[in-house]
Structure 1
Amino acid sequence: MADPIGRLRAGYGAGPRHLLVLLGCFVLTGWVAQRIAGEATAGRMLLWFVGAVIAHDLVLFPIYAALDRALRGALGVGRRPAGPGRLALLNHIRVPALGAGLLFLVYLPGLLGWGDETYRAATAQQREPLLTRWLAITAALFLISAALYALRRPRRLRPPRPPNPTP
């Protein structure tokens, strides 16, 4: 008889840990669905989730895929064999852009001024500084990424040291 783990990998396509984690995710999802099913706002939550999936897949994904393709083209990644310098620069632009984009989506209602009265009633504060704070955080993310790239780049460009001569 063949090895059972080998048969599992051949039939399932991954190892037993992957299967256990996936089953755990299904159990957790089922538990959450059961908890939400009794809520009065379950229909609104489901509608919001479906709307978010559609908005991401049909609107946001094509936008950021096109921006990434344009950035790759501007940096010359993909046309010729990419060295580690260009790929590192691409990732040092992608990461802060992702952080800024996610923060923008989270705070978009506040940036657009939706719910100002509710926010003021709940916190007794104004929302005016949200845009300037988002811009400051975005600038800080890009500055930190640029500083890290500048620190990492000289090490990569140094020629390898010749071996020490033996006496």
Structure 2
Amino acid sequence: MRGRARGLAEGIRAHYGGSLAHLVLVLCSFALTCYAGLRLLRGDTLGIAIWFVGAALLHDLVLLPLYTVTDRLAQRLFRDRRGKKPRSRDTAGGSRPVPGRVNYLRVPAFLALLLLLVWYPLVLGRVPGFTAYTGLPADVFWGRWLLITVALFAASAACLLVTRWRARPRRDRAGR
């Protein structure tokens, strides 16, 4: 029995490319997605379909080019002074290279925009009468989002400075 199960697992790995547990998890996620989609489409099917197509078009035709251009500009900002891109260092064992310095802009920008996306009704004051639920005045959310954004970029800048300081040769650090 064990040999048969092991043979089945090896056959799945050979054809599927992953383990049996991975295949079960992927199939369960597809089943959950289908269930959620069917429950969602019981309501306003045409409205949901229009919203989905509109969101895909907005992303592909407007947002993707916008953040691609922004990322290219950020990469140029972090280019080495000699006109070369910063070199990445490979770690032992042939693993992935160390990410570039542009990620010190990407990560806080992504987190700030994600917070804005999730909380935009409150941040932009689009929810009237929400004070009763939060106990906070409606005008505090914009300032708090800005403070969180500044803190994210400040923490990222501190991480960049520490990384650059640690990358300097030991004799330069001891001399100063």
- Scaled by the length of structure 2, the TM-score of the pair is 0.68
Distance 1:125 1:159, change over 3 A: closer
1:27 alignment partner AA: A
2:58 equivalent in structure 1: 55
1:51-84 CA distance string (max 9 Å, x none): 333322222221111100111122227x635324
Whether 1:152 and 2:163 are equivalent positions in the alignment is yes
Per the TM alignment, residue 138 of structure 1 is displaced from its structure 2 partner at its CA by 0.3
Per the TM alignment, residue 135 of structure 1 is displaced from its structure 2 partner at its CA by 0.7
2:87 equivalent in structure 1: 83
1:64 equivalent in structure 2: 67
1:115 corresponds, among 127, 131, 141, to 127
Per the TM alignment, residue 152 of structure 1 is displaced from its structure 2 partner at its CA by 2.4
Whether 1:127 and 2:138 are equivalent positions in the alignment is yes
1:90-136 CA distance string (max 9 Å, x none): 1111100111111222233333332324x246556431112111110
**Aligned residues with identical type, % of pairs:** 34
More helix by share: 1
Q: Relative contact order: is structure 1 or structure 2 higher (C-alpha 8 Å, sep ≥ 6)?
A: 1
Q: Number of aligned pairs? A: 151
Say what the alpha-carbon RMSD is for the aligned residues: 3.1
2:151 equivalent in structure 1: 140
1:164 equivalent in structure 2: none
Q: Which runs of 5+ in 2 are unaligned?
A: 1-9, 90-97, 172-176
1:29 corresponds, among 19, 33, 38, to 33
